[in-house]
A and B are shown apart, each in its own frame.
Chain A
Amino acid sequence: DIQMTQSPSSLSASVGDRVTITCRASQSINRYLNWYQQKPGKAPKLLIYAASSLESGVPSRFSGSGYGTDFTLTISSLQPEDFATFYCQQSYSNPRTFGQGTKVEIK
């Protein structure tokens, strides 16, 4: 199985801050990397696919980058509705695997 490791596991930030979350794969996954946002009691929501493509309807303050084993999710200016847990997920091979999550909290 491909292991996905996110860092940090949690972070505190203020509205307007630039936030970066990293995700590392245990082997190269090309660009087969997706990012999801999950709010309490809700299903995850797709934000970014193929490492850097923005899902339709997702605000442009979200962006993704990376290739191979190292990836980042950036929120350019954190908004109140962005406080949530974020997960990376690889679709390079089965079983599909997720990172452990990064919880973004209000400072």
Chain B
Amino acid sequence: QVQLQESGPGLVKPSETLSLTCTVSGDSISAYYWSWIRQPPGKGLEWIGNMYYSGSTNYNPSLKSRVTMSLDTSKSQISLRLSSVTAADTAVYYCARDGSWRGYYTFDYWGQGTLVTVSS
């Protein structure tokens, strides 16, 4: 069974860099794209971007200048870095697998999410 687990600091200071890691078990990290998605408290879902094991990335243009994703196949981990954070970046951050069926992509497996608060 595929499982995803996010980890990282729950509190980040304004202007600093948010860093999170998603550890995948039960599946090969090399077979799929992997996405980061966030949800501010009480609000909707925003796709941050995704990454393939080859190094190919797709970032949301609204965050592209501040986002970096990386992948460590030996540890089955996907990482997210978001720089110059503000209070508007306070959210629950999820990692998710980009599943595919005949070319139709879905987020079929999700981590439980981790709340990151930006505050001094």
Contacts and interface: CB of A to CB of B under 8 A. Distances in A.
B47 A98 contact: yes
Interface string A78-102: 0000000001010100111111110
B52 to A, nearest CB: 13
* Chain B contact surface mostly: strand
Contacts of B112: 42-43
24 contacts: A1-B61, A34-B107, A36-B107, A42-B112, A43-B94, A43-B112, A44-B45, A44-B94, A44-B107, A46-B106, A46-B107, A49-B101, A49-B104, A49-B108, A50-B104, A53-B101, A55-B108, A87-B44, A94-B60, A95-B47, A95-B61, A96-B105, A97-B47, A101-B45
A24 interface: no
Greatest chain A CB density within 10 A among B58, B102, B107 is at: B107
Contact of B105 (A42, A91, A101): A91
Contacts of B45: 44, 87, 89, 98, 101
Interface of A: 1, 31-32, 34, 36, 42-46, 49-50, 53, 55, 87, 89, 91, 94-101
